[in-house]
Amino acid sequence: MPSKINKIGVLTSGGDSPGMNAAVRAVVRTCAYHKLECMGIYQGYQGLIDNNLTPMNARSVKDIINKGGTFLKSARCLEFRTPEGRKSAFENVKKNDIDALVIIGGDGSFTGAMIFQKEFSIPVIGIPGTIDNDIGGTRFTLGYDTALNTITDAIDKIRDTASSHNRLFFVEVMGRDAGHVALNAGVGAGAEEILIPEEDMGLERLLESLKRSEKSGKTSSIVVVAEGDKTGENVFEIASYVEQNLPYYEVRVSVMGHMQRGGAPTCFDRVLASRMGVFAVESLMRGKSNVMVGINDDQITLCPLEKAIKGKSKIDEDLIRVSDILSI
């Protein structure tokens, strides 16, 4: 029989993503609904080490469902990677009578949570918050949908200028290891080519494809490039190679950068965060631990943290085909 949970701590860790605030709100209010105490921990694991935390009630999380970023702040905390750091963190967990933790973050944060749980037997549950959508055990992570909308909006604007000047734009988007963002935003924005880490297209094939487009009457084009694409060294190198070999187009590069992480969460991300937050607290109350909340076939589910970390979601091969067909 799991021991009764009376007080839950919640933190946001690693890279921030839109929807984290909505998830914290859901956790805090579900605690209030079930008459549990809740502590908001600032700056991820750093706040546990520094004892930087505060009691939260239903009103503490007003007016945040619509805000990007995380009002609890996030941090990359090196100390938590050491046994001494985690010991200090656990001392503060005990001092504050916290019985369980909700960790909102990515695979790094979940790795820390798993180690912490193993060392001190504290129940932990993860909520996936990352724009990259590169976590196993869930179809969607918080912030992914918002980032896709932000990127397609931006590419729509780039398209206006591209078509006015016969320009070929290379647009770099986030995704060092995973091409989900590039592939989906690329299809959504009607990109000519989409370069992702999972597939090395090669500069020659890219050039051939762009030449074919030019012959078929395209006067401007957009190529979406994930940061981690292996076709060239980086987006500037790819662009300069193409520029030298395709004199018809004026080539331009646009790097989306950190704007992709920000902005008000979409309705999809707010609803997802709300559902995941409620489920996280109620799962802890049912004695679950060392698991992550996910969404699969529109059902909120649980999977072991280990699977979430190791089971990176696969790229959608069918969507690659869709993109190939539609960019004719």
- Active-site residue numbers? 132
Give the nearest distance from C-beta 147 to ligand ADP in angstroms.
14
d(C-alpha 273, C-alpha 265), whole Å: 10
Based on CB atoms, which residue is closest to ligand ADP, 212 or 310? Answer: 310
Binding site for ligand ADP (CB under 6 A): 13-15, 45, 76-77, 80-81, 105-109, 111-112, 115, 130
Min dist. Cβ of residue 115 to ligand ADP (A): 5
Q: Which of 200, 198, 185 is nearest to 233 (CA)?
A: 200
Minimum distance between the CB of residue 106 and ligand ADP, rounded to whole angstroms? Answer: 3
Smallest gap, in angstroms, from Cβ of residue 14 to ligand ADP?
2
Burial class (CB in 10 A: 0-12, 13-18, 19+), 83: exposed
Nearer to ligand ADP, 126 or 186 (CB): 126
- Which residues have CB under 8 Å from 211's CB, separation 6+? 246
* Angstrom distance (rounded) from CA 279 to CA 276: 5
118 versus 314: smaller Cβ distance to ligand ADP: 118
Task: Please give the Cα distance from 180 to 184 (Å, whole number).
Answer: 6
Residue nearest to ligand ADP (CB): 108
Structure tokens at 192: 């000519």
Token pair 């009764």 is found at: 4
Nearer to ligand ADP, 252 or 307 (CB): 307
